[in-house]
Every structure is written in structure tokens, then in C-alpha cells.
Amino acid sequence: MSGLTVAVIGGGRWARALAGFLLHNQRRSQDRITRVLHYRPPRELVRAQEDNRSYADAAQTDIPAAAGEVPDVSAVDSAQQAERRQVTSIGVSELGQADVIFLAVPAPSVRKVLRLAAPHLHGAQTLIHAIGSVIPACEEHPHTTLISHAVGEETPIRKVGGLAGPALAPDLEEFAPAALVCGSRFDEVGAQAIQVLSGHSLLVYTTHDLIGVELSRAGSSVIALAAGVANILDLGTPARAILITRGAAELARIAVKLGAEERTFFGLAGVGEFVAATERRGSADFELGRLLGQRVPLPEALKQVGRVCDGPSMVREAHLLGHKFHVRTSIVSALYQLLHGKFDTKDALLALLSTDIHNERE
């Protein structure tokens, strides 16, 4: 096994936690990781869009700078802060030095960041993304796009992977027990993910179901949002269990239409991540759901959360995909109505937890 040079692209908390964790692994085993590089894209590339025409756009606007791109390196404690300062900061032209690149930027910024980096990338590299969303449709690209597809369209890299699972940024920062699943069509990508990420506190598993892993991670923001709404009314653990399990089934039906494997949604990448995302600790979309449950308007709720929330835009995309594929989406539809102001909190919650279908496989 030869050591790999690893780069992280992104300036948010998840990117910083990932860079710090990789450096920790590099120090413990230099035969696995030779260098850890960190590239922070220009602020204007990862700044939220200014278009406020819909709630999906609002989910990416008016967020303080700390939400998606914090230029200085901070950490939970002084030990983590000191460690992260040892990560080598680089310019975009130096990305070609990396064997494995981890992409962790807001979904609306993915194409801009990839286009900036593309001239410095090459086909021998691996890119693994850790982005909890899909790329919403826009005028230039009128259809919802998976992150892995955008990587193929914008760069020469073909060995692409995605990460999902019960591992939040605080878990990496504190070296708490956690797990990730790396999905990729290439066995080499999974092997590289294990080599650089696995350690005493992080378990890494692999699957060939890249699309399932991507959509599981994207779907976690939807479930977290719903759980936040339920939590504010103090309905307890059973309500959370219903949202996680039925939400997994609902999102899996959509994902299968896009080429995913259903079983991925009922493993670590799906239910595993949903459980972590619906905890009060660390989930921005869960906190957003709590605020919406208190009837705080979406723009104001986003300001109060102060971090990037993928839930509103993912609700919209899942709602559109459900209609496109004629898939039943009770939870997604209830959230969609809530975000459009067509439900009050109580009615939205009842819709989230009610059904006229009593066969669990439907």
C-alpha cells in the first residue's frame, strides 16, 4: 500500500472537520496518507445565490458567511484547532498534486467550483464528494443533476464516489464513533476511501450503489426537516421512528427510478444517516424544522440557523421527482405544503404522520 496525497475542497464546517480528521489519520499512519491539502474556493463562488424567486432559492440566501464558507480555520477545542492549522492550504492550481479529492461545497456552487478546478485536474485522480443535496435545475441545466454526474460533465475525472452515513462534523471533530459508506462503481475508489478515512473512531464501508448513496445523503435533509417539525410538538421517539422508516421507504421509491438500489436506503447510508440527522446535535435542517414548526418564516428561520440548510431545496426536488415518476410521497408532499404556507404546524404534522395506505411495502 502506497501513501496517498489527499485534498479537501471547501471552507465550511464539514470540509474543515474532514481535513482535520484526515490529518489526524496521516499523523497516525504516514504510509496511508503522505499529505493533506486544503483548498478553499473564492468566497464569491460559494456565496449563496441572490435570486429570491422561490423558497428553494431562499434556502440558499441571506445566510451569514459562517454558514457555507468560513475563511479562517476554527475548531471545537484548542487541540483540534492546533491540528487543523497543520493542514497545507493550497491554491486551485495545486489540486493536480492530489491522488484523492474530497469535495464539500454547497450544491449550488458545485459547477462553478468544478469549472475553476477542471484545468488543473486529470483522469488519474479520484473525487469523492460529501454533499448533502442534488444540484437544482436551472436555466443552463433544466433537470435535477446528481453531484457525480456534474463531476463527469465538468472535469476529466471518472473515478467518482459519494459518502453517506451516521457521521456528522462534530463526530469527526471529537473523534466520536461514527461510520460512512462510500458508493462508487470503481472498487479502487472504495479502497482509497478505506485507506484514508478508516481509523479508530470511523468505520468505512463500500458499495457499488453510488446513486443510492448520493440520494440517501441528499434525502437525510428532508427527514431531518420533518423530524424538527415533529420535535417542536414533543411527540416523542415513536414519531421520529415513523418519519425515519417511512421516509426511507418514500425516498427509496424515488431513488430507484433514478437507478439506485432500494436496500441502500435501509442501511448505514440511509436509515443510519437519517437517525444521526434527526438528532438535535449537529443537524442544521433539524433546527430549521423546529423553527418552522414554531411558525417562524423561512427566510428568518434560515438566518437564525446560520448554516447551510439543504432541506427546503431537497423537498422541492423530491416533490418534482415524485410527480414526474408518479411516486407516492406523503412526507415530502406535507413538507412541500408547509413550506408554501398551505398548512399550519398542526395540520402539517398530522399529514406527516398519517396515511391511507396500510401495506408497509407500499
State the virtual CA torsion across 340, 344, 345, 348 in degrees, nearest 10: -70
Number of other CB atoms surrounding residue 208 within 10 Å? 15
Instruction: Give the lowest-confidence range in 66-80, 123-137, 146-160.
Output: 66-80
Average pLDDT over residues 276-293: 87
Instruction: Tell me the H-state helices in the chain.
Output: 13-28, 43-46, 55-58, 78-84, 110-117, 147-154, 169-174, 187-197, 210-232, 237-257, 273-277, 284-293, 298-305, 311-325, 330-339, 345-353
Dihedral angle sign, alpha carbons of residues 79, 81, 85, 89: positive
Average pLDDT over residues 288-317: 91
Average pLDDT over residues 7-15: 94
C-alpha cell at 218: 441528499
Average pLDDT over residues 194-211: 96
131/279: higher pLDDT: 131
Q: For residue 179, which phi and psi values (nearest 5 degrees)?
A: -150, 150
pLDDT tens sequence across 106-120 = 999 999 999 999 999
Number of other CB atoms surrounding residue 50 within 10 Å? 9
Range ranked top by mean pLDDT from 39-43, 77-81, 345-349:
39-43
pLDDT tens sequence across 13-28 = 999 999 999 999 999 9
Q: Set out the domains of the chain in order of their start, with CATH numbers.
A: 4-207 (3.40.50.720), 217-353 (1.10.1040.10)
57, pLDDT greater than 60: no
pLDDT band at 53 (very low <50, low <70, confident <90, very high): very low
Instruction: Tell me the H-state helices in 13-164.
Output: 13-28, 43-46, 55-58, 78-84, 110-117, 147-154
69, pLDDT greater than 90: no
325, pLDDT greater than 80: yes
Instruction: Give the lowest-confidence range in 64-73, 143-152, 311-320, 333-342.
Output: 64-73
Q: How far is residue 337 from each of residues 56, 255, 310, 341, measured CA to CA in Å?
A: 13, 21, 17, 6
Average pLDDT over residues 277-284: 81
pLDDT band at 361 (very low <50, low <70, confident <90, very high): low
82, pLDDT greater than 50: no
239, pLDDT greater than 50: yes
Whole-angstrom Cα distance, residue 232 to residue 250? 23
350, pLDDT greater than 70: no
Among residues 324, 331, 288, 328, the alpha carbon closest in space to that of 306 is found at 288
Average pLDDT value over all residues in the chain: 85
Instruction: Give me the pLDDT at residue 255, please.
Output: 97
Instruction: Give me the pLDDT at residue 62, please.
Output: 30
